[in-house]
Amino acid sequence: MAEAPRLFVEDELALSDPVIFDPAQTNYLTRVMRLRTGDGVRLFNGRDGEWHAQLEVDGRRARAVLRRQTRAQYVPPQLSLVFAPLKKTRTDFLIEKATELGATELAPIMTAFTQTQRVKEERLRALVIEAAEQTERLDVPDIAPVQSLSNLLAGWPEARPLFYCDERGAARTMADELVAVGPGPAGVLVGPEGGFSETERQQLRALPFVRPVTLGPRILRAETAAVAALSLWQSGVGDWHDIPYLP
């Protein structure tokens, strides 16, 4: 039997409170998925775990009655991806993959060589919700307001390492830096397609919480660098390295 469709909702999830779907969700459930009254749907809100619910359709309106919690809420390791927005389709790819790879915050920044000056936070929010629905995440990454690199660095917690992917300077591997730093909240910083300016590189390397890392001998595209760095962090100190083997 196919798994019930899975949707993110803003509502509180509790047995006593039905969930009223908005028009877009109602259209998806009834017209795209062709569900009817009595069919099952899975719901999550990032706070109350995942719930199995039963759909009730009345004309153009739909709601769900919660039946049982299927998974308790999971709090993932705290990992921010700080990135310079790229062209539309490549930013979409980066957002989708960062969500799949467990980033808990996405922080767009403006740098000297950032290719686009417009960031539609509502669109990014829609992308992370869709990716979270598809990947069985119980949470949805936060979208930080766009800001300059300098402002982000000025407000960064000094106790929280920021792994700076430097394609040109001398740096240790991510694996070596993770051994030195260990687990805990962290950030990954990838630059725009043209890289960071020399002024920005000097600014980054002067900060004690910035940990320059290399991602190998090849020059990676910005979205590829993000995927590589997030994967290395998750496998080293994130929620990949302690998953029990299930035969």
Q: What's the CATH number where 43 sits?
A: 2.40.240.20
Q: What is the reported pLDDT for 59?
A: 85
For 23-34, write each residue's pLDDT tens digit. 999 999 999 999
pLDDT at 247: 46
Q: Cα separations (Å) of 160 from 116, 190, 226, 234? A: 28, 16, 18, 16
Residue 88: CATH number of its domain: 3.40.1280.10
Query: What was the pLDDT predicted at 152?
Result: 98
Same domain, 102 and 57: no
Per the domain annotation, does 245 fall within a domain? no
| Helix (H) or strand (E) segment spanning residue 22 | none
Q: 10 Å Cβ neighbour count for 232?
A: 21
- Segment 35-57 shows an average pLDDT of 96
Residues 160 and 25: their CA atoms lie apart, in Å, by 38
Tokens of 110: 């403006």
Q: What percent of the chain has pLDDT over 90?
A: 85
Residue 181 is inside which H or E element, if any?
A: helix 174-181
Rounded CA-CA distance 76/49 in Å is 13
Helix (H) or strand (E) holding 89: helix 88-100
pLDDT at 116: 85
Domain boundary among the residues 40, 55, 71 is at: 71
Same domain, 21 and 100: no
| Number of domains, the chain | 2
Give per-residue pLDDT as tens, 134-146.
999 999 999 999 9
Average pLDDT of span 94-109: 98
The CA distance from 165 to 232, in Å, is 12
Whether the pLDDT of residue 226 is over 90: the answer is: yes
Task: Give the separation between CA 186 and CA 51, rounded to whole angstroms.
Answer: 30
Per-residue pLDDT, 242: 65
The model's pLDDT over 185-202, given as tens digits with 9 standing for 90+, comes to 999 999 998 899 999 999
Residues 25 and 87 in one domain: no
Q: Let me know how long the chain is.
A: 247
Q: What is the pLDDT of residue 167?
A: 80
Q: What is the pLDDT of residues 128-174, one digit of tens each?
A: 999 999 999 999 999 999 999 999 999 999 999 999 999 877 899 99
Last residue of a domain, one of 44, 71, 98: 71
DSSP lists the bridge partners of residue 65 as 54
How do residues 49-69 score in pLDDT, each as one tens digit? Answer: 999 999 999 988 999 999 999
Q: Is 244 domain-assigned?
A: no
> Is residue 1 over pLDDT 70?
no
Structural tokens at position 231: 């994967």
In this structure, what is the dihedral angle of CA atoms 195, 199, 205, 209, given to the nearest 10 degrees?
-90
Q: Determine the average pLDDT of the residues in 217-244.
A: 90
Q: Which residues pair with 53 in a beta bridge?
A: 41, 66
* Contact by Cβ (8 Å): 165, 188: yes
Backbone angles phi, psi at 86, to 5 degrees: -110, -170
Confidence at residue 245, expressed as pLDDT on a 0 to 100 scale: 52
Neighbours of 93 (CB within 10 A): 17
Q: Are residues 127 and 34 in the same domain?
A: no
Residue pair 96/44 in contact by the 8 Å Cβ criterion = no
Per the structure, the complete domain to which residue 30 belongs is given by: 6-71
Angle ∠(121,98,88) on CA atoms, nearest 5: 50
Q: What is the pLDDT of residue 243?
A: 62
Residue ending a domain, choose from 71, 106, 127: 71
Q: What is the pLDDT of residue 192?
A: 93
Q: What are the tokens at 196? A: 């960071």
Amino acid 115: pLDDT: 83
pLDDT at 194: 87
